[in-house]
Amino acid sequence: HIGLVWFRHDLRVVDNTALIKASEKCNRLVALYTPTPMQWHEHNVSPMQANLIERRLIVLKEQLKQLNIPLIMVEVPDFNSLPQVILELVGELNIKHVFCNKQYEWNENKRDSQVAQLLANNMVRFTSFDDSCVIPPLKVLTKKGEAFKVFTPFKREWLNLFRHQSQQSARPYPVPEPLDAPPLEVEQLDNQKYQHSGRIKLTYPFAETMLWPVDEEAIRQRLVTFCIEKAADYHQNRDIPSIDGTSCLSPYLALGMLSPRQCIAALMAEYPECLEYPDEGAFTWLNEIIWREFYRHLMVAFPKLSRNQPFQPWTSKVPWAHSEDHLRAWQQGRTGFPIVDAAMRQLLATGWMHNRLRMITASFFTKDLLLHWHIGEQWFMSHLIDGDLASNNGGWQWAASTGTDAQPYFRVFNPTTQGERFDPKGEFIRTWVHELKDVPDKYIHQPHNWPQAETLDYPKPIVDHKAARLMAIDVFKKAKGEA
Ligand code: FAD
């Protein structure tokens, strides 16, 4: 019979659980993508991420065509309008079964339940699969059957399960075969409503993303090159923003252009014994993939995380500051702290930011400026090309000390010493803060102390870190009732 595969953040054909299962069950398939521009605005989807999606859909359409599966795109304003639209489409094409991969966020989950209900009322099956994690949420549990709240024991149990699982699966990841039956005729559908021919175009603000290739081979090459050339030194290089030492695969993982299983398979192909060497580069990289899983699992176990709530309830008592000037200075990279400013400018220019810098800028925002982490989280989301609710929220709540297994509130990053440690010669700073290119190394982290500082068109530090640190600790201490 005819099935429909509903693509969301799983924009690939390789190792796509829903697609593989659907092609086993049905002899004819249609693929659907449903952009929801109003919802995206509400969720702060960045123009760069939307552009990456658009470019990838063009590739996906071609790949699906090779499998005899036409791709239809239906743009609707928001999730509320989706159930009815999908019901109409399945009616027009006589579809009996809808397949998709789960999205774990609150609104997405609610949307899927509504679609499933409406379809069930009309005798159409709806099946969703765990796909975006190596080990599905709610499967990595404590002995008491509860979700882990701390990363290290989570990782230990995750690795136990992973060892067990990888012994069972001989093939690293499956690739679907073309369907035998000819592609379903979709030409009779109204092309205005159900776009099936012509160039894919989304209605969303535009931002250029050509630095990020979207074709299968280029993404695979990036993964394999990382594993061959960079994974070995990852543990040494991953904290140095001036070194191209991380994989830069996050935009692909966030949109499901690549699965974490593909990442691990490529890593294990180079380092089959990496689980035995936890201090080395390859394992350190695997560790980051496990962090990604941890945040996704947390979001399922604690749905409040996708609803703007802090993990630690006491932190809602923190009296956050309100300063438009500070906010703007941080957003535009004009805080007078060179490492923070370089990072924020990298974000504006490229939509990507190095992990160490995400930690430094988020800590500066929530501790030195004492601004509410929601605001920083939103700014990141609306500019990141790899925006991902679970990882972004996890990262922000970690930095703000509001999350599970977060940075303790009394351990506040010093933005100057962080710069000295991770960008000692100021190479990264000079790449992004051009005003500082002639400042000698000795002053690059505190240019206001350079005897020729007067000549610079660069702000003095907008806060005194020492005083701001004490203030933040005091405020958190009182909120926790420890003062
Ligand atoms: P690599 O170092 O090569 O790591 C490989 C992959 O592991 C990454 O692509 C990513 O999928 C995952 N990963 C790595 N570090 C982390 C981490 N700390 N938490 C969760 N997953 C991780 N990551 C996002 O994908 N989207 C976000 O919106 C996001 N927001 C963040 C916000 C803050 C405040 C912080 C501190 C971190 C955030 N991260 C986010 C995590 C991390 O910074 C990025 O995943 C990483 O910098 C991406 O670069 P890479 O692909 O070169 O990573």
CATH at 47: 3.40.50.620
Same domain, 14 and 124: yes
Asked, for residue 191, whether it belongs to a domain, the answer is no
Over residues 190-214, the mean pLDDT reads 91
106 is catalytic: no
Is 170 a residue whose pLDDT tops 50?
no
Respond yes or no: is residue 288 known to be catalytic: yes
Interhelix angle for 281-301 vs 151-168, to 10°?
Answer: 110
Q: Which domain holds residue 270?
A: 133-172+216-301
Evaluate whether residue 77 is within a structural domain.
Answer: yes
Looking up residue 440, the CATH number of its domain turns out to be: 1.10.579.10
* Residue 181 domain flag: no
Catalytic residue among 92, 109, 320, 414: 320
Ligand 1: residues whose CB is within 6 Å?
A: 238, 246-250, 253-254, 288-289, 291-292, 295, 354-355, 358-359, 362, 380, 384, 386-388, 391-392, 394-396, 399
Distance from the CA of 240 to the center of ligand 1, in angstroms?
A: 15
Q: What's the structural domain count of the chain?
A: 3
- The per-residue pLDDT for 405 is 84
- pLDDT exceeds cutoff 60 at 129: yes
Q: Do 259 and 326 share a structural domain?
A: no
Mean pLDDT of 347-371: 98
pLDDT of residue 167: 62
21 C-alpha to ligand 1 centroid (Å): 29
- Cα of 443 vs centre of ligand 1, distance in Å, is 30
Question: Which of the residue ranges 112-121, 340-349, 380-389, 401-410 would you say has the lowest mean pLDDT?
Answer: 401-410
Indicate whether 259 and 408 sit together in one domain.
no
Q: What is the pLDDT of residues 138-166, one digit of tens each?
A: 999 999 999 999 999 999 999 999 998 87
Domain boundary among 131, 160, 185: 131
ipTM value, please give it: 0.99
Question: Of the listed 75, 216, 291, 420, which one is catalytic?
Answer: 291
Name the pTM for this structure.
0.97
The pLDDT tens digits of the residues spanning 80-124 come to 999 999 999 999 999 999 999 999 999 999 999 999 999 999 999
Residues 333 and 273 in one domain: no
Q: Select from 301, 326, 354 the last residue of a domain.
A: 301
8 falls in which pLDDT band (50, 70, 90)?
very high
Pick the atom of ligand 1 nearest to 361's CA.
Answer: 34
pLDDT confidence tier of residue 216, bands split at 50, 70 and 90: very high
User: Looking at residue 277, which CATH number applies to its domain?
Assistant: 1.25.40.80
For all residues of the chain together, what is the average pLDDT? 95
Ligand 1 atom 35 nearest Cα: 395
Please indicate, yes or no, whether residues 319 and 454 belong to a single structural domain of this protein: yes
Q: Are residues 320 and 469 in the same domain?
A: yes
Same structural domain, 278 and 409: no
pLDDT on residue 168:
55
Whether the pLDDT of residue 323 is over 80: the answer is: yes
For residues 235 and 349, state if they share a domain. no
Asked whether residue 207 is assigned to any structural domain, the reply reads: no
Q: Indicate if 238 and 348 belong to the same structural domain.
A: no
Does residue 185 lie within any of the structural domains?
A: no
- Specify whether 223 is located in the same domain as 323: no
